[in-house]
Structure 1
Amino acid sequence: MRILTRIDGSISGATLSFRLLPGLSSTPSPYGSIIRHEDKDDLGHGLLVPINRCCTLAPQKRHGASYSFIQRRYYNTTVVTCRRFMSSYFCSNMYPSRKWNHTAASTAEPIEPAEPTEPAEPVSSSQERRSKHELLDLVDQYDDTPVEEHLTFLKDPYLRRYAPADGPNLEVSDREEDENLQSVDPRQRLDPELSETVRRLREAVSIKLRRPPKMELDEIYELYLLLPEPRMTYISAFLRHQLLAVLGMTERKDPKSMLRYFAVVTDVKNSGFPLTLIEWNTALSFASRYVGRSTEVELEAALHLWREMEHVAGIRASEVTFNILFDVASKARKLDLAEMIYQEMITRGFSFNRYHHVSLIHFFGLRQDTSGLRAAYREMVNAGEVIDSTVLNCVISGLLLSGEEDSALRVYQKMTNSNRELEHIPDRDYTMQKNITKVLMMFARIGKTHPDMRPNFQKTALISPDLQTYRLLINHFGCRLGSLPRVVQFLDEMKMFNVPVHGAIFLAMFKGFGKHGGPGSDWSSERLFSVWNAFLSALDADSEGLHINTWMAMAILTAFSRFSSKDHILDIYETLRSKWDLDATNSQFMIDFLKRLTQQGGYRPRHMGVIL
């Protein structure tokens, strides 16, 4: 029979090859080394286990006489007992205080090793020292400090040689200047000239907030630019928020006001100060409404700001934010995206207010869905909102865009009949209109709590035609349909309701002549000169909202190109140039436009179309 070539997988053969274990004696053997154990096995036979130099049980010769010291019938007993012995000895000598759990030893009692007949040669102290020296030499430097002292030092770095630190003493403040991250310490001393600039800026901002017409935004911004960079570190948090508030107070958002506001916002962000929710919403409004007609560019800018506000600044959008996004998506004709924004607003649980209802009416108007428009208006009435001219103007705009002129005129007729008893309707500028909107929203909130008060609130709202009403009607019936009698009717009724002639009305009239004017038309040259003279008279009288910009100049020159000669067009251009206040870029643009107009004979660019 063969003997297994390994003792056991759990005992390393290398352990048996280095030194002779205690309790074992060695006897020369032709098969290598023989481990002799004096104990008996279960059958009373002694155990002789041959081990070669590689710590195996394989003999060097394979003759039958080589196995004379082990009987064939005792093979299994020999192997099992050897396993028990090695497990017992290894574990009891290496880990005398531990118990072990071995597969082979779990069913047998440990075997105590016998006294060695020849004591093993002990390891010399020099060898032990050399071993330690070699191990310690792996690390280059040591000191004499014990490890316990290092642990103590970690717990007490100063070892009580210094007084303990006083703090950190944290205190939560609820003061407004602390919550807003105060920009500058008010107790610090500034340069006298710098202090005077800050004082003038504070005074100008205060005047603009109390009496807006008394102070121009350009003057405030010029005072702000006088501060050295970084400018935000020289003004307080209160003045910082006031400055952003007044820069957002503009009647018509244009590229100039947008760039001015974002320049200040950039200074705030570069200085490390946060923006409030109102300031983020104002930035969104500027990014989406600084042009007359919103496109995909403005929509993408608004979405980028919304993403930055929520994911970078950590400020969650409000219902005002979603109203701005919904409005710009609708005006950019991305109606599917507008519906997604509308659904997101509903998912977040925002309640509809006046702005949302009006935007929804405008949305259905852009889709030319008059049934949806009427349903949105009915929902606004049922919600308890106060109806005024702004809401009805939105309804008229949607009906005209959908081609339902008769329905739009019926709404207009009801508006004219509602306030005929009023002898004078006060003019409503931008600031007054904003205040009226806030009051109407307050009435709606109170009316929901006290329904019996709502009829009285509705009586205070004016639903008579205003400037926006006539602008919509004249643009549609004049520029789009070319119905001059309707335009004359609307101009007469403007006088009845004391609506002043605005620059938007003159712009719509000149665009109508530029599109429908010509020989044999109702838009004759005599009527064009009549409108031109009225325009010059209103311009000399400094009428509100009347000035010459590139749009107005292009509309006037295009209208006269339908009737007049080249010399006459040049005379009109010289009259306009003497009265406008254009910068160098716009002046050069008008020169190029005049050249194309006179050379091509009545050239009219694509963007001279109807703007509602």
Structure 2
Amino acid sequence: MRSHILSRTEAIGRQTSSLWKVYSGSGRFPVRTQFPSAPCFRFAGLRAGTLYRRFTYFRRGDSGSENGEGQVANQAASVIPLAFKSESAKDSKETDEDSPPGPQNDGRLAAFWRSFNSKATKPNQLFESYLQLPVPRLRYLSQEQVYGLLSKMSIIKKGDESAMLQYLTVIDDMRTGKVPIPRYHWNTAISFVAKCYRHLTDHDLQSGLFLWKEMEKSAGVVADATTFNILFHLATNSNMAHLPLMILKEMKRRNIPMDRFSYVNLIMYYGKQGDGRGIRHAYREFIRAGEVVDIVVLNAIMTALISAGEPQAAEDVLTHLIQSPTKSKPRLSTEKRNMRKLHKNIRNLRWILAQQGFDPNMDLGLAPLAPDLVSFAIFIDYHARETADFGKILSLLNDLSECGINSEVSILQSLFKGFALHGNARYTPWTLQRLNAVFDAFMNGSYRINRDATLWCLRAHVILAGKKKGKEVWEMVKTRWLEQGGNRSEISEVEHRLSRMRKEF
């Protein structure tokens, strides 16, 4: 890692916090310090109260009684996965009368394998089948099958608290059964903690750091660049402004080079710190490192510039991307003509970046550039939240359509947010008539209903049309949500939040 990246970051501040000292010991990180060998997740600070009780329910498994944890504790010592047994499970005989029945006589194992092998099984359904296995559950799975179970449970579109707890439950069973946990699955577990909450609390931060400690200290698995990228993302979303600096220092101490994800995280970090110069500095280092500039990187730059209070600079980048010839379908032409267009596009991008303070002479490694859904969602959400410029949003929606990009529920969610925030102002363009048009698209389009979009939709209707209308809208959305197989707990949460809305307005 180049020293000037770190020196630039150190300019933000040099203070450390008491939380960091807990996990870093006397100037060192968990891999070199002494820590109590407490159970991994029970004392990891995972959302005290409700979350702990849910986790306790998962650990009890199929016992359904208060002594379920005791059963797990009593049988923990006998958890030996099939991969480590010299004889097969069919030949093994249980002498304890409370021990689970053999797999050949237990229909729960057959039900689990049906769920495991079915492509239609959702991760939460697979986990429920796993919970039904007799304790200790890992007795009936080989090492590779356990890894396959974790992989299937990690394939989710958006992580939430329930998915995180399910994944950590299997990880904890593996620790109890002394099944080796590869670095990839440790990284996935930390990533669940980093991304499953919208607002990161100190408990969540401690949970991520605790998992890192367990991975290196207890399991002896050394963190790699991916681990540090996840930790950096976790630290950036916390309230500890100097924790990302500590992560970078530890990467340097271990001689772990920064990759493209590290630089993107650093760009986002500077944006949250309101440091436009830092954004540009990190981008220059990204280019010097020989990394390829693609739309993901430019989306990060635009988001960071908006966060740093430079929305016009971000909008100039988007305008160039929209006008770029790479967004249209390429026509059949000679190779020379195509190269001429590419070089012209690169020159234009170099010029627009130079106008915003980036080095015009940097050697750009470019992938084919065209705006994607995220590019437009960034600015639609910004204008819905901050400027209330409905005309600008309509222009962005028109550009979105011309680029051949299909809208998703995130776009409608931002529009609902705009109606909720600005619909009660005088002479506002955020009218009830326009809200009804957006709602019709929400209900009649092929959009996947989720909690956040529904909450903003209901809030907008309560503010613009009253409590009675909000209740009517909820019944319509609820029916469609249930038809799509919506999560019951999320539906209950929305109903509770709606009752609070009706009291507030």
User: What is the TM-score with the length of structure 2 in the denominator?
Assistant: 0.69
- Secondary structure, aligned partner of 1:349: coil
Alpha-carbon distance, 1:279 to partner: 1.4
Q: CA deviation at 1:370?
A: 1.0
Q: How does 1:446-595 map to 2 (within 5 A)?
A: 461-518=367-424, 519-538=426-445, 541=446, 543=447, 546-549=448-451, 551-581=452-482, 586-595=490-499
2:249 is the alignment partner of 1:348: no
Q: How big is each residue's C-alpha offset from its partner over 1:387-420, in whole Å with a ceiling of 9 and x where there is no partner?
A: 1111111100011111211110111122223354
Contact 1:184 1:234 in 2 (8 A): no
TM superposition shift of 1:474: 0.9
State the distance in 2 between where 1:475 and 1:530 align.
Answer: 18
The CA deviation at 1:202 is: 5.9
Contact 2:183 2:221 in 1 (8 A): yes
Work out whether 1:331 is the aligned partner of 2:237: yes
> Deviation at 1:588?
4.7
Taking the aligned partners of 1:354 and 1:202, their CA distance within structure 2 comes to 39
Note the C-alpha offset of 1:584: 5.9
- Is contact 1:399-1:407 (8 Å) kept? yes
- The 1:514–1:327 alpha-carbon spacing in structure 2 relative to 1, beyond 3 Å, is same
More off after superposition, 561-570 vs 576-585: 576-585
d(CA) in 1 for partners of 2:464, 2:442: 18
Uncovered stretches (5+) of structure 2, i.e. residues with no partner:
1-80, 92-101, 331-362
Cα 1:205–1:349 shift into 2, 3 Å: farther
- AA matched with 1:262: L
Contact residue 479 and residue 509 of structure 1 kept, 8 A: no
Contact 1:419 1:463 (C-alpha < 8 Å) held by counterparts = no
Q: Which segments of 5 or more consecutive residues in structure 1 lack a partner in the other structure?
A: 1-179, 209-213, 425-454, 602-612
Aligned match for 1:239, one of 131, 145, 152: 145
How many residues align structurally? 379
1:238-259 per-position Cα deviation (integer Å, ceiling 9, x unaligned): 1111212222222211112101
**Aligned positions of 1:190-229 closer than 5 A:** 191=102, 193=104, 215-229=121-135
1:385-396 equivalences in 2 (<5 Å)? 385-396=291-302
Spell out, residue by residue over 1:329-369, the C-alpha distance to the aligned partner (whole angstroms, 9 max, x if none): 11113221110111111111001112111111111111111
Which has the larger Rg?
A: 1
Q: Counterpart of 2:293 in 1: which secondary structure?
A: coil
Superposed, 1:103-118 pairs within 5 Å as none
Is this contact kept in 2: 1:365–1:402, CA < 8 A?
Answer: yes
2:186 is aligned to: 280
Aligned to 2:501: 597
**TM-aligned CA deviation for residue 186 of structure 1:** 7.0
1:307 aligned onto 2:209: no
SS at match of 2:470: helix
How many Å separate the matches in 2 of 1:379 and 1:199?
54
Equivalent residue for 1:363, pick from 269, 276, 284: 269
Of Structure 1 and Structure 2, which has the larger fraction of its residues in helix?
A: 2
Check conservation: 2:153, 2:167, Cα contact below 8 A: yes
SS in 1 for 2:463: coil
Task: Give the superposition deviation at 1:576.
Answer: 2.2
Counterpart in the other structure of 1:431: none
The letter of the residue matching 2:461 is F
In the TM superposition, 1:118-129 aligns within 5 A as none
Equivalent residue letter for 2:305: L
Q: CA RMSD in A?
A: 2.7
Q: Note closer, same or farther for the CA distance 1:463–1:563 as it changes in structure 2 (3 Å cut).
A: same
Change (3 A) 1:394 1:206: farther
**Shift of residue 548, structure 1, vs aligned partner:** 3.7
Give the secondary-structure state (helix, strand or coil) at the position aligned to 2:277: helix
Q: State the distance in 1 between where 2:212 and 2:420 align.
A: 41
Residue of structure 2 in register with 1:255 after alignment: 161
Q: CA deviation at 1:554?
A: 2.1
Q: Residues of 2 paired with 1:234 and 1:412: CA distance?
A: 54
TM-score (norm 1): 0.58
Relative distance call for 1:464 and 1:329 in structure 2 (3 A) is same
Does the 8 A contact of 2:123 with 2:154 survive in 1?
A: no
Q: Is the 8 A contact 1:184 1:233 kept in 2?
A: no
Aligned to 2:288: 382
Work out the CA distance in 2 between the residues paired with 1:396 and 1:311.
39
1:292 aligns to what SS in structure 2? coil
Identify which of structures 1 and 2 has the higher relative contact order when contacts are C-alpha pairs closer than 8 Å and 6+ apart.
Answer: 2
- Return closer, same or farther for 1:421/1:592 CA change in 2, 3 Å cut-off: closer
User: Secondary structure at 2:83's aligned position in 1?
Assistant: coil
Kept after mapping to 2: 8 A contact 1:517/1:524? yes
State the match for 1:402 in structure 2. Answer: 308
